[in-house]
Every structure is written in structure tokens, then in C-alpha cells.
Amino acid sequence: MERLKIHQYISFYEKEESRNETLLKFAKLDYNRIQLLYRQVLAILSRWSRDFNVTYKYPYTRDRIVEAYVWALGSICEPKFGASRLMIAKYLQVETVLDDTYDAYGTLDELYRFTAALKGAMLMFKELTRGYIIEAQWAKNAYVPAFDDYVQNGLIVSTYDVLASAFLLGMKDVGSRKWYGYEEEQKRGYSPAIVECYMKEFGVSKEEAVRDIDKIFVNAWKDTNKELFLKPRSVSNREIIQ
């Protein structure tokens, strides 16, 4: 994990005779500040988990909220992605409940009905439950599938698609003005930004340009997600995300 490496570097640098005390001080302040941020998000998740009350409502499943957050933190350690880490950890806990329901709790008949009841769920969760029901069928019938079948289904139940969706949901700046840096570029006297070009070409105000470009960015993200997750292709979602 990147932040743990930084802690190790600080420990090594602290022993250097030629160390810069000011640099060392700021390194420690930065490390402690980011650690506090991580702990605050974990506190939010812990409260959410208590409200979710996993161990009481679903005694057969695992409460993995701390493990899920550490996993998310190991994948995305940048402070600005706190919302994405929050979403990923929550998704992982929900996936754990689903996984344990299919693996260790329901009968096949119950699982068929449960899967049917989730038809109105998000597309990624629908795909995930489809993979889980296939695994349940194999397990209940003591069936050993062909290797390729196992691998293909494994790509679904590995949850990479769902976690990618969680990451995108946590990116609050999607479609916002921060994406094209109009205000910052104007202050620094940079070359024309996209907002300015749009204003000049279409004869609209800054507010109208920002509104229209927001729509363009949002639609572009929808198209990207559609291409990434919905269209058939020879490359798996897992390979694309990696």
C-alpha cells in the first residue's frame, strides 16, 4: 500500500544525518493528515455498517466492512477519491451478503426466486447474481464445469465490473467545470479553454456554455460506460479495467 511505503520512507529518512528537518516535518504532517482522512471515512463506513446490521439481519454472512475499506484503500489511495473508496467498500459488503446467500444459505429453489426478484436491480448486480446462480447450480449438483466455462463465469463473480461502477459513482467531479479548468486557465492567462471556444463559436454566455458542455461530458460518460460494460467484445471487462 502506497501510504505504508511513505511511512517507511519517513522512518528511514529520519535516521539520515543529512536530513532536512523542514521537509521531514511536512512529510509527517502530510502523513498524519491523510491518515486522519482515512479514519474519518472508516468511521462513516462503520456507522453505515451498524445501521445495515449485517450480523443480525444476515447471521450466515460475513461482516467485512473494514476489510472492504482496506481493499479499496489499497486500490485507490489518493485522498481526492474518498467518495469512490466509500462506494467501493459499501459495494463489497453488499456483494459479500449476496455471495454468502448463494454459497451458504439458500436452496436452489429459493435462489431462483431471489434472482428473479432482483431483475429490477442495477445492471451490474443483475450480471453478478446471474454468475452466482450458475455457481450455486454447480455446487448443489456437484457439477464440475469445463475450464473455459468456469473462467468466463469467474470474470463475472470477481466483481470487477461492479467495483468499476462504484468507483465512477464516487467521482463527484464527473461533468463539472473542474474537468475543463475554465476558471483556473482564465486566471493564469492560458490559451482559450473549451468554454471560451464554445462561447465564441455558438454566441452564448458563459453560463450557457458551461451548461451545454456539462451535458456533452455527461453524455460522453454514458457512451463510455455503454461501450465498456454493455457491448460484446473479445476483451473482458476485467482486462479493460486493469
**109-151 residue pLDDT tens:** 999 998 888 776 666 678 888 889 998 898 888 888 887 888 8
C-alpha cell at 225: 460506460
- Domain 2-172 fold is Farnesyl Diphosphate Synthase (1.10.600)
Closest by CA to 60, choosing from 105, 115, 103, is 105
pLDDT digits over 147-183, tens only? Answer: 788 888 888 888 877 777 777 766 655 444 444 445 5
Going from the C-alpha of 223 to that of each of 107, 161, 220, 227, 241, the distances in angstroms are 39, 16, 5, 6, 16
Average pLDDT in the 86-103 region?
A: 89
Q: At 43, is the pLDDT very low, low, confident or very high (cuts 50, 70, 90)? A: very high
C-alpha cell at 63: 461482516
pTM attached to this predicted model: 0.62
How far is 129 from 156, CA to CA, in rounded Å? 9
Give start-end residues of each CATH 1.10.600.10 domain in the chain. Answer: 2-172
Beta-carbon contacts of residue 102 (< 8 Å; ≥ 6 apart): 111, 129, 132, 133, 135, 136
Q: At 232, is the pLDDT very low, low, confident or very high (cuts 50, 70, 90)? A: low
Question: CB burial class (10 A; 0-12, 13-18, 19+) of residue 80?
Answer: exposed
